[in-house]
Structure formats: C-alpha cells, structure tokens
Structure 1
Amino acid sequence: MSNISRLSIDNSNLFDTDIGEGGVSNKEIEALSDRLDPLRKQIKEWTNSDHPTFLNLPHKSNLKAIKERGQKIAGQFSRTIVFGIGGSSLGGEMLVRTLGDSHPKNSVSFYDNVDPSTMITLENVDWHETLLLVISKSGNTAEVLSQFLTTLPIMEHELGYEQASKHTLFITENREGALYKLGEELNIEIIEHPPVGGRFSVLSVVGLLPAYIGGVDIAGVMEGARAMSERCAEDDILKNPAFYDGAAQYLHARRNRTISVVMPYADNLRFVVNWFRQLWAESLGKIDADGNHHGLTPTEAHGVTDQHSQLQLLLEGPDDKLVTFITDPGFRFQGRRVPLRFREIPAISPLAGHTIGELFMSELKATRTTLSRRGRPNRTLALLERDAYALGELIILLEMETVVVATLMGIDPFDQPAVEESKILTREYLSEIQLIGDLI
C-alpha cells in the first residue's frame, strides 16, 4: 500500500491564524477532543468488526467477486442501465462519471428519478444489448419499484419473459421486501446489499459493480480508502484529518455558518458534490434528544462558472457559509495556450501565452484569496492526481467528517426518521387517485 497521500488538505483558511477573527483556533479544536471519545471507541469497533461497516468496507468488500461479475456483464452486454435513487445510485454515478473510461466497452447510465419525460426514453433502448441493474436496500423504494415495473413490460415485449429476467440483476438486502419477492417470482438473480446505509454504501457492491463495469480502477479506489481509514483512526484530534476538519466545521456552524458550499474546480468533480449533498444533509439534518434542530445545508457552486453568479453573495452576503474547494492542481499544465497574436488588445494581453489550465487555476487562487481577505472561511481539497486512489481517500474523509460533526452535535448520522412521513403520505395520496384518471 502506498503511504503517500494523493489528497492534499489545505484547511489554513478555516483558522484565525490566516483569516483573523473569522477563523477558529486550535485551542477551540482541542477543547472538543474529549467529546469524541465515544467515537474513538466506535471507530475501533467498526474497524475490527466481522460485519460490514462503512469504515471497514475498504477491507471487507470482495473485489474479486465484483470484478468477475463485472467482466461477465461487460462481455455479455454493451450497456448497463442502473435504477436506483439516493445512495443506491449517487455513489456509483460519482465513481463512473469521475473515473470511468470515456469510451468504455460497456456504457453505464443512471436513472435516479421517475420523471415521465425521462423514463419514456427507455422505450428506445436496445434491450438485446442491455443489462438492467436495479438497486434498493429496503426493496420497497416506491420510485425504484415503479421504474422497474413500468420497464419490465418493455423488456418482456422485446426479449420474451425468460430473457428479460436474464437481462436483469437486483441488489437488495431485505428478504421481505418487494424487490426480493419479485426476484424470486421472476427468477432474477439477486446480489445481497450489505447491512450499511445507502449513503455510506459507495465502497460496496452497490457503487463498485457499476463502477467496474464503467471502467473504473476499483482496486485503486479501495487502496486509497484503506489509507485514509487508517489516518482517520488516529486518536489525536490535531493529527486525525477527519477529526480536525470536522471539528472546525462544527465550530463554524456554532458561529451560524450553517451553509456548506462545495465548489469543485473540475467539471466531472460535480458528481462528487451530488453524492456529498445526500451524505451531509441526510446525516446531519436531525433533532437531538433535547429537541434541538441541527443541520448544515449543502449547496454547490461550480468553479469557474459560478464566479459569475454566486461569488458576489459569498463575498458580501450573509457570513453564514463555509466553502470547500475541490480541485486537481494538474489542470495548470493542461489545455491549449492563448496565442500571442492579439496580445496588443488590453483584455487579451494578460491571457496571451498562458494555457486554459493556468487561467483556471489562477481563478481558483483568486477566489480563495478574496474570500480569505474578507474573513470568509474556506478550505481546499486537492486531488494531486485525479485518480482512483485520491478519490478513495476523499470518500472516506468526507464520510468520517460527517460522522465527526454528527457526534459533536449529539445526533445519529445513520438514520433518517423524518423522511418516512413523506413516504407514507405519498402512498396515501396515490390511493386517493382513481386508477383511471388524471392527477390534477
């Protein structure tokens, strides 16, 4: 295993030493250390458990079995369509869109909504060349069941009943769930979903199988994840990267900086933000035992595009935000150079001779500096090599930071009790609609 991290964490602009009174201090961080003692104990239990936990998935996931299945799928089909929602799709899509081959032998598409105008495109799929991968931990997710049940007749019409089942694969955990029962009735192969919450399941078969089919180096992802999980097992709050940055974000939240802006400077890193938003929002938006409401609101700004739409707000709007930049420093050496031909024109003169990548990274540096000069907290997570190892490190870091913040808030990061009400109401409202009629 490599001991050299490919994820650079520059958190200096969270602290008073760099941004003045707008920052927090190491003394404040150290004062929180004792409150993380229960988590220190839990980390040891998670790491050493014989059962899958989000923290030991990098050690427990069966890569050999995943690769063998992925090779079989890629050899048999030219396309894989994934039905899932939330944690059943966001992690896999992040891996595929960030690391996957630009022209894989088997393309992977993710359907994570029930928008009728999107679902109708499935009528044009060549199902003879396509595998349908359906993922639901509970097996009772209304959207996923609806996706599958409305697509099944299309597949059966084109392939026949038996072949439609052979072109379908389920991942689910609950043997009493509807998806498991459908699998048994239709003779569809079922892969067991690990007993890990969906938003923490990216480093299991849930995320790794579609990733491998899409050409991702999943062994590299897991190697980086293992390295970061070891760093996050450090007891010292000043040396554990998740403890340190998690505690800093918690302290800023206590200063009413409760909006977490994630600003990737790389187009395909936007899929990291999509995954992170669920992780952060669903894990931290809770009521504690004393009835206090907690939560940090994740939102995205896209570098450099949103320098022209959101930067003004970040600089002079309410001081209620903490910005995390995610980038690849290697961009500096990429892209074509602006020719010297028109350098006499004042607006072109500063650009002439520089690469697009140099402009890109200079804009990031300028954004960081202007925020810091105004005492606005920000940090930069740089994937020194935008590869599988670095992304594996980033995944574990963000998961562990989430758990650290939840621990300091006194809430459980692994449940989501409030969303059940919406699910119940959805079924009630459906029952009120006549089976033949319009929803108005």
Structure 2
Amino acid sequence: MLKTSNTYENFLQNNPHLFQKDHLNHFFQQVLIEKNSNVTGYYHLPFADNTTIFEYLKNNESFLDSIKTLVIIGIGGSSLGTKAIDTLLSHQPHRKKIKLYFLEHTDPITIQKHLRHIHWQKTLFIAISKSGLTIETTSLLKFVLKKYALLKHKNHLLVITDINSPLHQWCCKENIQSITIQPNIGGRFSVLSAIGILPLGILGYDIKKLLKGAEKISQQFFVERKEEILKKALFLINNEKNFPINVLFSYSNVFKHFNLWYMQLWGESLGKLDIHQQRRGLTPIALIGSIDQHSFLQLIMQGTRNKTITFLNVENLTEESLYIPNISLEGLESTDFANKSSFNQLLNLQCVATKQSIMKENIPMDSITLERLCEESVGELIFYYELLTSCAGILLQVDTYNQPGVEFGKKVLREKFTHLK
C-alpha cells in the first residue's frame, strides 16, 4: 500500500485558490481528456490484454526453465524500467536464479565485461527497440548476432518492438520471434507493457500483481477521484520559477535504479518548449538515504532555496530483521543509543529525522511510503510517477510524450558518420 503526505498547503499564501474544488475538477478534466484522446497508450496498460505475453511464457516454459542468463539489449525506456523493478524486488525468494545483464552502452569495455561469461546455449537475448533504429540497440544487436550466430539459433533471440516497425518487419522476414506494442506507448512510459513485464515474467515475478498495483492507482485517480497527485503537480508547476529542482530522496539502496528511471521520466518528459515556445521543465535530482545525508543534504539545508524534496521509503524492507548488537566500544559510547535497534528501524528514523530537519527549514516537502516491497506496491509506485508526470506536462503545456532534443542529437550523429565515409 502506498501512503502519501505533503506540506504544500503551507506555501499557498499567494495561490489560495490552487487546491479549491472547482480548480482541481477543471485540472482533472484536462487529464481525462488526454487519457481518452489516446495520445499515449500507457494510461490503459494496467487493463491491457496480455494474452500474447502469457502465451509466450507458457509455450516456451521448458526453454525458459533451462536458461541461466537473460540479456536485455536496449537503452533508456527499453531497459531502465525493467532494471528498476528487478532491483526493487530481486530479494524475493520466487525470483529465479537467472543472471540479468543489460547491453545498453556502446562502451567496448562494458560490452566485453558483460559478455565475457555468456554461454549462448543457456542464454536468451531480448532486443528491445520501438523502431529498431536506435543506434546503440541496433549496433549491439548486430554484435551479438554475429558473435553467437543467433540467426542459426533463433529460439535464443526475442524482439520486442512497435507493431509494423522496421525491426518488426525484419523479424517477420527472418522468422525471428517478436512481440509488438502499440506505437503510442512511449519508451519511458512502457515498463508496464511487454517491454517490462515479459522480461520480469521470465525472471519469475508475478506480473499480474504488478499490473494490479498500477490498476489500483488508476482507479484511485480516475474513479475515486483522489486528489493527491493533482495537488502535487499543481504545487510543483505553479512554483516552477521559485523551486525549479525536484529532489527524490529514496531511503534504501534498492531504489538506485528506480531513481534513474524517475530522472529519465521526469527530465525527458517535461524539459520542453511549451506551446508558446518558452523553455519549461523541472530538474530532477535523485539521492539515496542515508548515504546522501552525508553529502547533498548540506546543500538542501543551507544552499539556495530552490528545491522541493520528495522522500521515498519502505516501512518494512525485509521480513527478517537485522539488529545492531548491544555492544559498547570504548570511546564510542555516544553511538550506543542505536544498540538493539533493527537496521530497518535505524534507516526509517534517519528518514524521519531528515524530514523534520527540512520541515524546520520551511522547505517544500512531500513523502511516499510503501508498506512493503512486493509486485503490487511497486506497480503502484510506477503508475503514481507516470500519472504525476502526465499531470505536470499538462500544466506546463508541453508535449510530454515526444523528445525532439534527443532526436536532434541522433540526427547530428548520423551526419557525423556520413562525413567520415
């Protein structure tokens, strides 16, 4: 279960109308219009018919039980979501003992390191690209095709791509297994499509529960009309100039890849020219507590007052508690206050103490707390952030689902290679 709280009401002196019912209702209607327009398909993913995915898992059950390694070939939205969820849930006992590697970087050292111990006979390679024209993904796919002669061992290769994309057409021509998604599901919003849930299903996770969590947030927002996400987006965007930086302070190392997923989702979706050709966006920063209490926290507390802080933590990280021994070390007696406490309790109290310190400094803050880490709670968290991003994009009046700045870089790269030849 996902619980939220915030201090935003303390900062509404100049905008007392912001959270009024008529204003919230108008904003909700804008989100509903976007959902029903099908400009993006991610809104509907929690309720999608995933028959093709489950058929693949069932029809290839014997082969999938035999693999020892899963290699994802993809970058950005094709890999970050899967990596985030696996890192959040990999401690669970039903996670299969399959080594997971991501080929997402064209750094030759990284490529060699990941592939050094790969035995293709016990490996499934999944190439993920919406178009197939992403240069990193295409180049890495070509490399493994040649290195492991995969066109002769086609059951060891699976492709996930847009329906009728150039990559899909290549798969049909070469008789390569492929699973397609709809083109209106953008990469960074695609983790609850086949791009994420198929690899996660292979790893042993309960993908139905993952989608159930996302469905729960969707129902709360669109049916029960809970307003927490609307209020957060309204506050952040209406204070864009005063607080242009949003800091996600996540309390556990298991959030390290979720933080990266959030930074792509937030930065690539909202950093745009709006309909008036004005530069807009909020800068995302992601931290890990309690580690970054000893570094970045100082800047938050006494640096420029231009940041909002979101705390993310889990009430119960593990079922088995680890305790700090009741040992007193000479000269270090001042640390004995934590003796006999669990590490989970210590981590959560560090989070609470940091929250209270920030509240005393009158810094805008909100918090997200998961009761425990499981497929359902992670599905809730993923869809919460996707909805929040969409709401922020509507208020900014930007196209949340394109990335023209990124596409410009791709065009320049192609021109550089053309000149070399």
CA distance in 1, matches of 2:413, 2:212: 42
Deviations 1:159-202 (A, max 9, x none): 6x421x2211111115352x234324433112112231111111
- 2:138 matches 1:138: no
| Aligned counterpart for 1:187 among listed residues 143, 167, 175 | 175
| Aligned counterpart for 1:117 among listed residues 109, 120, 138 | 109
Deviation at 1:337, TM superposition (A): 2.3
For 1:231, the aligned partner's letter is Q
The structure-2 alpha-carbon separation of the partners of 1:347 and 1:190, relative to structure 1 and needing over 3 Å to count, comes to: same
Comparing 256-265 and 29-38, the one that deviates more: 29-38
Give yes or no for contact 1:93–1:211 (8 Å, CA) kept in 2. no
Equivalent residues, number: 412
| Aligned counterpart for 2:367 among listed residues 350, 365, 380 | 380
Question: What's the counterpart of residue 15 of structure 1?
Answer: 9
Q: SS where residue 329 of structure 1 aligns?
A: strand
Question: What's the counterpart of residue 57 of structure 1?
Answer: 45
Q: SS where residue 232 of structure 1 aligns?
A: helix
For 2:74, the aligned partner's letter is G
| Aligned counterpart for 1:292 among listed residues 278, 298, 322 | 278
For 2:159, the aligned partner's letter is F
Deviation at 1:41, TM superposition (A): 3.6
Deviation at 1:35, TM superposition (A): 5.1
Question: What's the counterpart of residue 73 of structure 2?
Answer: 83
Deviations 1:349-389 (A, max 9, x none): 21222222221111101110111100111211111121111
- Please, what TM-score do these two structures have when normalized by structure 2? 0.90
Question: What's the counterpart of residue 437 of structure 1?
Answer: none
CA distance in 2, matches of 1:116, 1:60: 38
- 2:290 matches 1:304: yes
| Aligned counterpart for 1:265 among listed residues 251, 255, 258 | 251
- 2:312 matches 1:326: yes
CA distance in 2, matches of 1:24, 1:274: 34
What does residue range 194-273 of structure 1 map to in structure 2 within 5 Å? 194-195=182-183, 196-234=185-223, 239-254=226-241, 256-273=242-259
Question: What's the counterpart of residue 279 of structure 1?
Answer: 265
Question: What's the counterpart of residue 94 of structure 1?
Answer: 84
Deviations 1:302-350 (A, max 9, x none): 1000001100001011111111111111149864322223177432321
Question: What's the counterpart of residue 424 of structure 1?
Answer: 411
Give yes or no for contact 1:241–1:397 (8 Å, CA) kept in 2. no
The structure-2 alpha-carbon separation of the partners of 1:86 and 1:332, relative to structure 1 and needing over 3 Å to count, comes to: closer
- Please, what TM-score do these two structures have when normalized by structure 1? 0.87
Question: What's the counterpart of residue 438 of structure 1?
Answer: none
RMSD: 2.5
Q: SS where residue 287 of structure 1 aligns?
A: coil
Give yes or no for contact 1:32–1:247 (8 Å, CA) kept in 2. no
| Aligned counterpart for 2:36 among listed residues 27, 40, 45 | 45
CA distance in 2, matches of 1:269, 1:364: 14
- 2:377 matches 1:390: yes
CA distance in 2, matches of 1:61, 1:271: 28
The structure-2 alpha-carbon separation of the partners of 1:77 and 1:333, relative to structure 1 and needing over 3 Å to count, comes to: closer
Q: SS where residue 101 of structure 2 aligns?
A: strand
Question: What's the counterpart of residue 3 of structure 1?
Answer: none
CA distance in 1, matches of 2:366, 2:143: 45
Q: Percent identity?
A: 28
Question: What's the counterpart of residue 141 of structure 2?
Answer: 148
